[in-house]
Amino acid sequence: MTAGEGLRERKKRETGMRIWRTALDLFTERGFDHVSVAEIAAAADVSKMTVFNYFGTKEDLVTAPMMNHVGDVVRAVRERADGESAVAAVRRQFLAMVEVRDPSIGLNDDPRSLQARQLIQNTPVLLQRAALAFGEAERELAELLAAEGGDAMLAAVAAAQLTGARNALINEHHRRILAGESAKWVATDAAERAERAFAQVETGLGSYPGPKRAPK
């Protein structure tokens, strides 16, 4: 039980984890398309309605943890400090996540997380769902930058560069860990690689779209 967590909250969390783990096992064993939500519910000893109360769709049974962080790059830019550039904000956020080995940027070698990652990679419908979610986040970032910079085309280019660099770093973490390296080992040079990646983006973007200014 986590600090401050009551019995009801603990049971709810445990039920959600049981459903998620059961789904991952069945999907891994038989393939995503060959397992129904009803079968997952029966194996997890809950009702089908309970599964949908915890996970809105069948796809969410695999992708939900990842979806919670799709908008991180948008939040970094929107909430950046006055006078801070977009690339500096995204870099700062990413380095902070490296510092604590945040699972959302791929610095996680928990077997269940790796299982989910492999399912996404090997299942076209899940891969498409992830691509659509990240594409929507990129469009949202472009709109945010356009509102500050005024040129929709340049904003779209900047958004693609920022999200592309971040996603490339995360994919590299996943690739190395799935290849057998420990998350602890991958984390040892993650900050240095992030610095190089964002430095390359910064060369092109500079201070675009200009320093954030406090509202008058």
DSSP letter string, 10-66: HHHHHHHHHHHHHHHHHHHHH-GGG--HHHHHHHHTS-HHHHHHH-SSTTHHHHHHH
3-class DSSP assignment, residue 29? helix
Q: Average pLDDT, stretch 190-198?
A: 96
- Could you tell me the residue ranges of all domains in the chain? 7-57, 64-205
The two structure tokens encoding residue 24: 């991952």
Q: Could you tell me what percent of the chain has a pLDDT over 70?
A: 93
What is the Cα–Cα distance from 61 to 44, expressed in whole angstroms? Answer: 13
SS3 100: coil
The CATH architecture of the domain made up of 7-57 is Orthogonal Bundle (1.10)
Taking Cα atoms as reference points, which of 49, 70, 54 lies closest to residue 20? 54
Name the one residue in this structure whose structure tokens are 């038989």.
30
Instruction: Compute the half-sphere exposure of residue 116: CA atoms within 13 Å on the CB side of its CA.
Output: 22
Q: Which amino acid is present at 102? A: D
Residues 138-167 have pLDDT tens digits of 999 999 999 987 789 999 999 999 999 999
Answer whether 120's CB lies under 8 Å from 63's CB. Answer: yes
Give 122-161 as a DSSP string.
Answer: H-HHHHHHHHHHHHHHHHHHHHHHHHHHS-HHHHHHHHHH
Tell whether pTM > 0.75.
Answer: yes
Cis peptide bond N-terminal to 124, omega within 30: no
Output helix, strand, coil percentages for the chain, rounded to the nearest 5.
Answer: 75, 0, 25
Distance CA 155, CA 147 (A): 9
Tens digit of pLDDT for each residue in 3-51? Answer: 556 888 889 989 999 999 999 999 999 999 999 999 999 999 999 999 9
